[in-house]
Chains A and B, each alone.
Chain A
Amino acid sequence: MATLKPTHDLHRRRFGRNVGLGLVLVAFVVLVFGLTVVKVTRGDPMQAFDHVVRPELVPLPQGGQQQGGSN
């Protein structure tokens, strides 16, 4: 039976791979969070997808008046 050798190159490689993957996952979470903040605060058209009539999102006609109230 083979003996346990914690310092084997295989362990070093596996540890490096796990640390690398962990860092990539953390970076991905941070990126998605940042992207969400940017998309929400910039008011991208996502507001239009909330399945509620939002007349204030419709551009006003030239010299016209906004129709309807808030939802």
Chain B
Amino acid sequence: MSDIHANSLSDTGPAEAGFGDFVALLKPRVMSLVVFTALVGLLVAPVSLHPLVAFTCVLFIALGAGASGALNMWWDADIDQVMRRTKGRPIPAGLVQPGEALGFGLALSGLAVMMLWLAANTLAALLLAFTIFFYAVVYSMWLKRSTPQNIVIGGAAGAFPPMIGWVCATGSISVEAVLMFMLIFMWTPPHFWSLALFMNSDYEKAGVPMLTVTHGKRVTRNHILVYTVALVPFALATGFTSIGGPVYLAVSAVLNAGFLWGAWKIWRRDEAAAEADGYATEKAVFKFSLLYLFLHFVALLAEAALHSYGFGDW
């Protein structure tokens, strides 16, 4: 009976969501970044975990991030419908009902926090719960539609995973964990705004107050330079902590010089120059920013490997 009912529904009613549609709700690309940074945070910590415990920790940190992605998609379905980049997401495409996404996100959030508590410790679980709350409520529901500084404060949600990884291993927050947090936190604005410089039309249509829309591209260029300058001390300071070393510091110095040079070039340009070459500099800096963060964390991993063999320490 339900089959017949379902057949008749499929012609006129909502489509049936497949397994992949629920996976898409978790924002797998964002999750891959979370997996990488959380894993680095966990591996560079001075306390080693059993491989299965470490795997469980990273898995549920990533699932917690995915759950907050599902809650974000539930809340932002109206915006996603308007923007070209997001209108193919499961809810605006009609594959998943908003209520399903909400239930899925809430259930997965609870499961992820509970499992992290069981696998690691209370502080790690509390930090994951706060991260989910921060992304779903503080960023998605409050900041995103109300202030052009949304990405600055909202970036904290993406900065927590390495700190949670560290706390899973050590049970406490230390200067190393804070610096890894600050590295991602300060990196997010110049990274995102360099993208917004050549991709702002959709945000305008959706009514999201991106800095490029509310204050113009000149102000955005100024902000990119200021935040890049502010990022440098945090990136370099990490090199002088227990997780850093000469290798990290050398890599970081080169990457920061490159990022500063890029931000300087963006700042010097005006719109006429940018439009003349199709925003080539902005696109190059955006791509470099991805490499910047990735290589910083790779350098931290390299230092951890060197430390385990008695090299790479100050």
Q: Which of A7-15, A49-57, A58-66 is the interface stretch? A: A7-15
A26 at the interface (CB under 8 A from B): no
Q: For the complex, what is the distance from the CA of A22 to the CA of B22, rounded to whole Å?
A: 14
B19 at the interface (CB under 8 A from A): yes
Q: Is the CB of B50 within 8 A of A42?
A: yes
A48 at the interface (CB under 8 A from B): no
Q: What are the residues of chain A within 8 A of B16 when measuring CB–CB?
A: 9-10, 13-14, 17
Given contacts A2-B4, A4-B3, A10-B6, contact A35 B17 (CB under 8 A): no
Q: What are the residues of chain A within 8 A of B3 when measuring CB–CB?
A: 4, 6, 11
In the complex, per-residue mask of B4-28: 1 if CB is within 8 Å of any chain A CB, else 0: 1011111100011111101000000
Q: For the complex, what is the distance from the CA of A38 to the CA of B53, rounded to whole Å?
A: 8
Given contacts A13-B17, A13-B18, contact A8 B7 (CB under 8 A): yes
* Cβ-closest chain A residue relative to B6: A10
Report the contact-size class of chain B (Cβ under 8 Å from the partner): 20 to 34
Q: What are the residues of chain B within 8 A of A10 when measuring CB–CB?
A: 6-7, 9-10, 15-16
Q: Is the CB of A31 within 8 A of B56?
A: yes
Q: How far is the CB of B209 from chain A (nearest CB, A)?
A: 38
A21 at the interface (CB under 8 A from B): yes
Q: How far is the CB of B273 from chain A (nearest CB, A)?
A: 50
Q: For the complex, what is the distance from the CA of A4 to the CA of B22, rounded to whole Å?
A: 26
Report the contact-size class of chain A (Cβ under 8 Å from the partner): 20 to 34
Q: What are the residues of chain A within 8 A of B7 when measuring CB–CB?
A: 2-5, 8, 10
Q: Which residue of A1, A9, A17, A38 is within 8 Å of B17 (Cβ)?
A: A17
Q: Is the CB of A16 within 8 A of B18?
A: yes
Q: For the complex, what is the distance from the CA of A9 to the CA of B10, rounded to whole Å?
A: 9
Q: What are the residues of chain B within 8 A of A13 when measuring CB–CB?
A: 15-18
Q: Which residue of B10, B18, B118 is within 8 Å of A8 (Cβ)?
A: B10
Given contacts A9-B10, A35-B56, contact A16 B19 (CB under 8 A): yes
Q: How far is the CB of A45 from chain B (nearest CB, A)?
A: 11
Q: Is the CB of B52 within 8 A of A35?
A: yes
10 nearest A-B pairs in the assembled complex, by CB-CB distance: A20-B19, A13-B18, A2-B8, A17-B19, A2-B7, A13-B16, A10-B16, A10-B10, A38-B50, A38-B52
A selection of 9 A-B contacts at a CB cut-off of 8 Å is A2-B8, A2-B11, A3-B4, A9-B16, A10-B6, A13-B15, A21-B19, A34-B52, A39-B53
Known interface pairs A2-B11, A4-B7, A11-B3; 13 further A-B residue pairs with C-beta atoms within 8 A, sorted by A's residue number: A2-B8, A3-B4, A4-B3, A9-B16, A10-B7, A10-B10, A10-B15, A20-B19, A21-B19, A31-B56, A35-B52, A35-B118, A39-B53
Residues of chain B touching chain A, judged by Cβ–Cβ distance below 8 Å, are: 3-4, 6-11, 15-20, 22, 50, 52-53, 56, 59, 118-119
Residues of chain A touching chain B, judged by Cβ–Cβ distance below 8 Å, are: 1-6, 8-11, 13-14, 16-17, 19-21, 31, 34-35, 38-39, 42
